[in-house]
Amino acid sequence: KQEVTQIPAALSVPEGENLVLNCSFTDSAIYNLQWFRQDPGKGLTSLLLIQSSQREQTSGRLNASLDKSSGRSTLYIAASQPGDSATYLCAVATDKLIFGTGTRLQVFP
């Protein structure tokens, strides 16, 4: 059974720091991996999707990498801002989308 784990569960950093959020999964047979952002009381916003054949994807200050063989993905946030404060979820697509429980990020001024 596919299991997705995100570490750390919570993170609090000062503005300007570069961050790495981690996601690990137990079964490497995936179609893709998706990173989402969720603001309190809101829905999920898709940030990046990495197909199983890709190694990384970039969007602005965000960079996500995928190492299928080791069952790991990282989301790198450069020069963090208070507006980046949210919960970040990763999800792997097999025949269904399996979610991790998220990393709650707080960036303070």
Site string for another protein, 10-29 (x = CB under 8 A): --------------------
What are the strands, taking DSSP E only, across the chain? 4-7, 10-14, 19-25, 32-38, 44-51, 56-59, 62-67, 72-77, 86-93, 97-99, 103-108
State the nearest-atom distance from the C-beta of 78 to another protein, in Å: 23
Whether 32 and 23 have beta carbons less than 8 Å apart is answered as no
x-marked contacts with another protein along 31-50 as a string, rule CB under 8 A:
xx-x-x----xxxxxx--x-
101 contacts another protein (rule: CB under 8 A) = yes
The residues that touch another protein, with contacts defined as CB under 8 A, are: 4, 31-32, 34, 36, 41-46, 49, 51, 89, 91, 93, 95-97, 99-102
